[in-house]
Amino acid sequence: MKKPSISVFLKTVLEKDDKDVKALPLSNNTVSRKIDEMSEDIEKQLVEKLKTRNFSVQMDESTLRDSNAVLITYVRYIDVRNLAEETLFCKRLESTTTSKDIYNKLKNYLDINDIPMKNITSCAADGAPY
């Protein structure tokens, strides 16, 4: 889908030959796989940072159009004297959206990734019911 668009752009707007674009091996599976690999790498880098430094957490539960709830978790930390803010994860909440469910989802993620809970200096969340 992207290759044809790039080819048209090169031919019509830039008036350039598109032979190099045609040679690119970009199937939908290839592009999808590359995006997944980059995402995993970025997550691994963030997890490694959070294992060794203090950070704050902000969580927000949201309901999607299909009535499924997700928990979006952001972290803030100091990275080489600069404040960094990253999305840690977006995970589906299986049944209810109580504060206990949200806590368990965060705790499970930290445990799986060997991020010490003691590294959390503060935590903010919206008004989830008990």
Looking at residue 31, its pLDDT comes to: 73
- At position 113, the amino acid (one-letter code) is N
Looking at residue 10, its pLDDT comes to: 46
* Tens digits of pLDDT across the chain (130 residues): 454 554 455 445 444 555 555 555 567 777 778 778 888 999 999 999 999 999 999 999 888 888 888 999 999 999 989 999 999 999 998 888 888 889 999 999 999 999 999 999 999 887 655 4
Q: Is 53 helix (H, G, I), strand (E, B) or coil?
A: coil
Looking at residue 66, its pLDDT comes to: 85
Looking at residue 97, its pLDDT comes to: 81
Q: Is 66 helix (H, G, I), strand (E, B) or coil?
A: coil
Do the Cβ atoms of 68 and 80 come closer than 8 Å? no
Residue 97 CB: number of other CB atoms within 10 A? 19
Looking at residue 33, its pLDDT comes to: 81
Looking at residue 90, its pLDDT comes to: 92
Please compute Rg for the chain using Cα positions.
20
Phi, psi of 127 (to 5 degrees): -75, 65
Looking at residue 91, its pLDDT comes to: 93
C-alpha closest to that of 2 among 14, 106, 11, 22: 22
> What is the C-alpha end-to-end distance of the chain, expressed in Å?
46
Looking at residue 15, its pLDDT comes to: 47
